[in-house]
Amino acid sequence: MKAIAVNGSPRKKWNTATLLEKALECATSQGAKTELVHLYDLNYKGCISCFACKIKDGKSYGKCAVKDGLTPVLKKVTETDLIILGSPIYFRSVTGEMRSFMERLLFPLMTYTDPPESLFSRKVRTAFIYALNAPEEMVKQFGYDKSFAENEMLMKMVFGASETLCSYDTLSV
């Protein structure tokens, strides 16, 4: 079994990274080979809307055609059995790097049919870990949970399963 965790935080040794490392320790204890990727170490951008991933029978159908620092990570994700994404929450959402990663990961794998279908060839377990410098009540009051539910829905649509973990009241400075 292979597990990959993707850190959307600029900090490699803080809340989000620590939570991802603990999740990978659990996977390792179950016999998984694990890897932690730090998005802020990579040189890439979000989706450029080239639509090469949408051309049926094209060489990039169902996968991002852009070649940059994210390319090897996207390949690894397609070869894994467990995907864990982690991000601190900035302005009610994941970091810009995580959002760009999600665009490049998920958009190529979804069809334009009604309802959308996944082009991913198998079911993979996924999870999203959020680090928030806010109490749980505030998160619900300001609707952060809607953003989390949307991300979970997208991961389920593409990979078949997803869970969400929120770590509230994290230390930010």
Query: What is the tens place of the pLDDT at every residue in 42-59?
Result: 999 999 999 999 999 999
Q: Which residues of 124-141 are buried (b: 16+ CB within 10 A; e: fewer)?
A: bbbbbbbbbbbeeeebee
pLDDT score for 1:
94
What would the pLDDT profile of 8-34 be if each residue is shown by its tens digit? 999 999 999 999 999 999 999 999 999
pLDDT score for 105:
97
pLDDT at 112 over 90: no
pTM of the model: 0.94
Mean pLDDT of the chain: 94
- Residue of 51, 82, 56, 88 whose CA lies nearest to 169: 88
Q: Token match 């949408």: residue?
A: 54
Residues 6+ apart with CB under 8 A from 95: 8, 9, 10, 39, 87, 88
pLDDT score for 89:
92
Q: Which two tokens stand for residue 58?
A: 């094209």
Across 147-164, average pLDDT: 95
Q: Which fold would CATH assign to domain 20-167?
A: Rossmann fold (3.40.50)
pLDDT at 124 over 90: yes
pLDDT at 171 over 80: no
% of the chain with per-residue pLDDT over 70? 99
What would the pLDDT profile of 56-111 be if each residue is shown by its tens digit? 999 999 999 999 999 999 999 989 999 999 999 988 899 999 999 999 999 999 99
- Residue of 7, 27, 29, 28 whose CA lies nearest to 18: 7
pLDDT at 134 over 90: no
- Residue of 154, 27, 68 whose CA lies nearest to 164: 154
pLDDT score for 173:
63
